[in-house]
Amino acid sequence: MEYAVYFEYTNGRTRSNVMRCQSKQELKEAVQNLFQETELLTLAERIVVKGRGKIIYSGGTHLTFRAVWHAIDNATNPVGHPRKVRDGTPTTLYLPAELKAVLRDKGNGSMSYGLIKALQECSDRKVKEAVTL
């Protein structure tokens, strides 16, 4: 994802030090570079990060780098539950409607984990060997 990072001011100048990044690591380096611009940091009102045309983060310059990066990192993390399945891939699967509730119950709220538990109980040796967490 492409990001744009810059200072925003209240004195009429809308932005300065605009940096474009292609990865999260580059984004972190760009934010660190903004914090090294101490004079501009004191003049600016906020640090802004944009991604896909939307503002991802907008926060005051009075905060520490660590606090700002923590907020940006949380805002740029993918949505959803982190994967716990080794070498797992997202898949669309059509199931009978009644099976949905059974899998959620078996997996303590997670259909994926419920399906894995059900497959581990299967008598087919190949299926049991293939199903790992």
Residue % of the chain over a pLDDT of 70: 89
CA atoms within 13 A of residue 12's CA, in its CB half-sphere: 0
DSSP annotation string for 43-106: H-SEEEEEETTEEEEEEETTS-HHHHHHHHHHHHSPSSPPP-STT---------HHHHHHHHHH
How far, rounded to the nearest angstrom, does the alpha carbon of residue 76 sit from its chain's CA centroid?
4
Please list, residue by residue across 78-111, b when 16 or more beta carbons sit within 10 angstroms of its beta carbon and e when fewer do: eeeeeeeeeeeeeeeeeeeeeeeeebeebbeeeb
Quick one: pLDDT at residue 111? 84
Q: What is the mean pLDDT of the segment spanning 20-40? A: 88
- Give the residue, 132 or 109, on which the prediction is more confident: 109
Q: What is the mean pLDDT of residues 65-75?
A: 88
| For range 85-97, the mean pLDDT | 78
